[in-house]
Amino acid sequence: NDALWRTLQRSIVEKVKLNNYFSDDTIKFALRDFPDTWWMYNFLCQNAQQTEFAVPKIRRGYVQYAGLLGFEKDEAQGLAWLDSVADIKYNHHWRAAIKNFNWFGLPEHFVSLAELGAQRNIPAALNLLGLEHNNKENNGLLPYD
C-alpha cells in the first residue's frame, strides 16, 4: 500500500491525467486506506480540471454540491460543474458516475446524483431512477454492475 500511495501522491504533483478507470480505482483505494486526507480533495479538483473525461467533472460537481470528500458544500459551484457536462453525448459518463457512488461505498448518493442528472434530461439518469423506483422489493439501490 505504501508504494501505491506514493505513486498516487506523485501523480498529483506531476499532474498526471488519469482516465476514468484509474481515477475510480484511485478513489476507491483512498477511501478505503486514507479516508481523512486532503489528498482526496486535491485529487478530485486536479483530475476534474485537467481531464478531457466527463466522469471526473460530474464527480467533482456532485461532491461540491453535496459537500463530500473534503469539499465545502457549494451548491451553485457544484451545479455549474454538472451543467458543463449536461449534454446527451455524456450519457454513458453520467451512468458510470452515478453507479460509482455505490462502488465507492456511498450508495446514499446514488439517487441524489441520478436526480440531478434527470433534471438535465440525461437518459442514463432517468433510466437508473426508473429502475430504482420500479424495484421496491429490494429495499435499496441498484447494485453496481
Evaluate if residue 124 carries a pLDDT over 60.
Answer: yes
Angular region, 61: left φ>0, alpha ψ -120 to 50, beta rest:
alpha
Instruction: Write down the pTM of the prediction.
Output: 0.84
Q: Looking at 37-41, 45-49, 80-84, 133-137, which range is the least confident one?
A: 133-137
- pLDDT tens, position by position, 1-20: 677 777 777 777 777 777 77
C-alpha grid cell, residue 89: 453525448
Q: Where are the domains of the chain?
A: 2-138
Using DSSP's 3-state secondary structure scheme, residue 34 falls into: coil
- pLDDT tens, position by position, 31-78: 888 777 787 888 888 888 887 789 999 999 999 999 998 899 999 999
Please answer whether residues 57 and 48 qualify as being in contact, where contact means their C-beta atoms are separated by less than 8 angstroms.
yes
Please answer whether residues 53 and 20 qualify as being in contact, where contact means their C-beta atoms are separated by less than 8 angstroms.
yes
C-alpha grid cell, residue 46: 486536479
Evaluate if residue 135 carries a pLDDT over 70.
Answer: no
Which residues fall within 8 angstroms of residue 16, CB to CB, at 6 or more apart? 10
